[in-house]
Amino acid sequence: MTHAPKSKRQSILAAARQAFLAHGYSGASMEAIAEAAPVSKPTLYSHFRGKQDLFAAVIAEQCESLLGTLARSLGGNRNPEEGLKAIARAFVDLIYAPESLQLYRLIISEQQHFPDLGLLVYRSGPEPVLKQLAAYLAELAVGGALKIVDVEGSSRLFLSMLKGDEHFRCLLGLQDGLKEGEKDSMISAAVAFFLKGHGYEA
C-alpha cells in the first residue's frame, strides 16, 4: 500500500511540532524547522508569517479530528446520546494523547515569556471547539431534544466534566494517561449526567 506524499504545509507542521516539543517555543527556530521539513526559508514564510502563526497552526492541526467530529454532528440525525458520546470520545482522545499533554505543558511554561501566546492558542483550538459544540447544543435545544438556557455555559460544563482531576494528574505526570475502559466509563458517566441535567428523555 502506498501513501500519498505529504504536502509542504504538512511537512512544515510535522517538523514544527517536533521542534516545539523538543526545544520549547523559545528554543525552536524557524531556520531549524525549515531545514527539518525540509523546505527553503522563503517557502516556510510563504506558508506561515512567523513562529507564532506556525505554533497556532500546530495547535489547530492537533484539534482537527475533534473539530471534524463536531462538524459531522451538526445537522446530523444522531440522537443526543450518540452525538455527545462521539464528541466526548474525540475530545478525550485528543486531550489525553501524550503529544497533547506535552503541548499543554509547553504552553503553560512559555506563557510568562510570551504573553500573547495564550490568547493565540485559545483562538486556534479551544475557542473553535467551544463554538462548534455550542452550535450543536443549540441545534438540539431548538429541536426540543434538550432544555438548555445557556448553550455556551453548558458547552463549557460538558467539556469540563471530561477533564477534571484525571487530566490534571496526567499533566503533573502522576499517571501516563487513561486506558480505553477508563475513557469509556468517564464518557458514559459525563454524557448521562449532562443529558439528565438538560431534561433529556430517551
Confidence class of residue 6 from pLDDT cuts 50, 70 and 90?
A: low
Q: What is the pTM of this model?
A: 0.87
The 3-class SS string of the chain reads CCCCCCCHHHHHHHHHHHHHHHHHHHHCCHHHHHHHCCCCHHHHHHHCCCHHHHHHHHHHHHCHHHHHHHHHHCCCCCCHHHHHHHHHHHHHHHHCCHHHHHHHHHHHHHCCCCCHHHHHHHHHCHHHHHHHHHHHHHHHHHCCCCCCCCHHHHHHHHHHHCCHHHHHHHHCCCCCCCCHHHHHHHHHHHHHHHHHHCCCCC
In this predicted structure, the answer to whether residue 1 has a pLDDT above a threshold of 80 is no
pLDDT of residue 69 exceeding 60, the answer is yes
- Which cell goes with 124? 486556534
pLDDT at 4 over 80: no
Q: How far apart are CA 75 and CA 58, in angstroms?
A: 28
Q: What is the pLDDT of residue 198?
A: 96
Name which of 69-78, 162-171, 187-196 the model is least confident about.
69-78
How much of the chain exceeds pLDDT 70, in percent? 97
Is the pLDDT at 82 greater than 50? The verdict is yes
pLDDT digit string (tens) for 83-137?
999 999 999 999 999 999 999 999 998 888 888 888 888 998 899 999 999 999 9
Q: Taking residues 32-60, report their average pLDDT.
A: 93
185-197: burial string, b at 16+ Cβ within 10 Å, e else: ebbeebbeebbee
Taking residues 16-41, what's their average pLDDT?
94
Distance, in Å, from the CA atom of 46 to the CA atom of 34, rounded to the nearest integer, reads 12
What is the model's pLDDT at position 44?
95
Q: What is the pLDDT of residue 181?
A: 95
Question: What is the separation, in whole angstroms, between the first and last Cα of the chain?
Answer: 44
pLDDT, averaged across the chain: 91
Residue 183 has a pLDDT of 95
pLDDT of residue 132: 94
The residue type at 119: L
- Give the pLDDT confidence score for residue 95 in this predicted structure: 94
pLDDT of 3: 37
